[in-house]
Chain A
Amino acid sequence: ETGVTQTPRHLVMGMTNKKSLKCEQHLGHNAMYWYKQSAKKPLELMFVYSLEERVENNSVPSRFSPECPNSSHLFLHLHTLQPEDSALYLCASSQEWSQLQPQHFGDGTRLSIL
């Protein structure tokens, strides 16, 4: 059991749909992350929030829109996605935004774009 919960676990959507991924952490952490994990590619950092402020946006297309309403919740809003966006989207949290802090991952949302 991870302490970082992601919903839904699986999502199939058309290219014109709008959906949101949700992440909730019960660890009292101050930093939260979105990663994309594709087949044959390393884990890619997408966004970082520290104390509810976005501190990293790694050249992610605008069709991905993150939201962090409080320190326990993180959303990834999706619209007009492309087939190449099909991947496993992982949320993680850490005590602080620091290289010295371990990251705790959720089990991911498997996203398929038709």
Chain B
Amino acid sequence: TQLLEQSPQFLSIQEGENLTVYCNSSSVFSSLQWYRQEPGEGPVLLVTVVTGGEVKKLKRLTFQFGDARKDSSLHITAAQPGDTGLYLCAGAKLNYGQNFVFGPGTRLSVLP
């Protein structure tokens, strides 16, 4: 059983569509990060959320941390081919030292 689950595992959409991907756990996290990893590259941090219910926006990306700090979502508006990649969430737990546990990721493909 994975500590963090992400859904969907794969997503293929057309340019201009909206989408939401999810990161869920039965555990409470003190903070949660979202990364995007493009083919042949390492993950790049998109955002860190810390407060339950927090919403952060990064251009066309909207991140929300659940009120109970057990889940998070990433919504992309008007997806573009440049959004293609593996989206990873990573949670930090209060009793897990200073380290993060990563989810398995959602692989997004945006077709032109």
Contact = CB atoms under 8 A, between A and B. Distances in A.
Interface string B1-43: 0101000000000000000000000000011010100001111
7 contacts: A42-B103, A42-B104, A43-B88, A48-B99, A99-B99, A99-B100, A105-B35
Contact of A105 (B30, B31, B40, B43): B43
Contacts of B41: 107-108
Interface of B: 2, 4, 30-31, 33, 35, 40-45, 48, 50, 88, 90, 92, 97-105
Given A42-B105, A99-B31, A108 B48 contact: no
A106 B42 contact: yes
B42 A99 contact: no
Given A43-B88, A56-B99, A99-B30, A105 B44 contact: yes
A100 B86 CA distance: 22
A103 interface: yes
Given A56-B97, A100-B31, A107 B102 contact: no
Interface of A: 2, 4, 40-45, 48, 56, 90, 92, 97-100, 102-108
B92 to A, nearest CB: 4
B88 A108 contact: no
A105 B2 contact: no
A56 B99 CA distance: 9
Contact of B99 (A41, A45, A90): A45
Contact of B42 (A40, A41, A45, A108): A108
A48 B99 CA distance: 9
